[in-house]
Amino acid sequence: MAKKQDYNIDFTAGLTDIWRILKDNEREILKNHASVHHFKKNQMIYCEGDQPQYLMCLLKGKVKIFKEGVGGRYQIIRMIKTVQYFGYRAYFAEEKYLTGASAFESTIVCMIPMRIVSELVRINSDLAFFFIKQLSVDLGIADERTVNLTQKHVRGRLAEALLFLIDSYGLEEDGATLNIYLAREDLASLSNMTTSNAIRTLSIFVSEKIITLDGRKIKIIDEEKLRKISKLG
């Protein structure tokens, strides 16, 4: 793995959330232990079963967190956008990683040893609250997600996935094209359905003038309708 020296990035700029919380001497500690790593498209960042060691902050690119299910079928559990933190849950829970993470596209990640993070949490209660809040929010999202994935039908689940992608990565300058190009397979494993059904449902959405497709580019035409479909299930 490449060290921070290899990349001419002010990685502290990306660490805003935590940076703001820390005192000067704590920032010094963090700076001395942080390193910046580059991952190529589809490269694994960590694997299910690995021993967690780092708090990671996504500086550039996109990351998917996924989990292998029954019969090798994998499911995307969450997706990380820039300046989001990830990879710390398992360490705090004193478990091995239950999920894997891989780079969706060329990605830069800042890594801070959890040993150091733990130490900072111990001496800075604001940082403790930061993680408590983060975990609490994520747990809420996970609970919502469970109900959505189990109770909604394919249309609802796909609509929701699209809305989630808009929310996470936004739209291009035209204000319509999704700012992420993912394979149908990924869209499927994000909305818990087979690839064929993702493809099929997408083209139904096209025929209903909710979206248009150009290869992997997805243009959102009628977000309101998506919202309605997602809500009704």
Partner DNA sequence: CTATATTTGTGCTGTATAACATAGTTATAT
Partner DNA sequence: ATATAACTATGTTATACAGCACAAATATAG
Q: Write out the residues near DNA by the rule CB under 7 A.
A: 71, 153-155, 183-185, 192-197, 199-200, 202-203, 213, 215-216
How many Å apart are CA 77 and CA 99, to the nearest integer? 8
- HSE at residue 145, side-chain half, CA atoms within 13 A, is 16
CB of residue 49 vs DNA: minimum separation in angstroms? 23
If one asks whether residue 135 binds a copy of itself (CB under 8 A), the answer comes out as yes
- Which one of 37, 38, 62, 152 is in contact with a copy of itself (CB under 8 A)? 152
Q: How far, in Å, CA of 46 to CA of 90, rounded? A: 12
CB of 25 to DNA, least distance (A): 46
CB within 8 A of 167, min separation 6: which ones? none
Q: Using CB under 8 A, which of the segments 16-24, 121-129, 194-202, 213-221 binds a copy of itself?
A: 121-129
For 47-148, list the strands marked E by DSSP.
Answer: 54-60, 63-68, 74-80, 85-86, 100-103, 107-113
* Residue 199's binding partner out of DNA, a copy of itself, none, with CB under 5 to 8 Å set by partner kind: DNA
The interface partner of residue 121, options being a copy of itself, DNA, none and the CB cut-off 5 to 8 Å by kind, is: a copy of itself
Buried-state track 62-86, b at ≥16 Cβ within 10 A, e below 16: bbbbbbeeeeeebbbbbbbeebebb
State the residues that interact with a copy of itself by CB under 8 A: 67, 69-71, 73, 75, 77, 88-90, 92-95, 98-99, 121-123, 125, 128-129, 131-133, 135-140, 142-152, 156, 192, 232-233
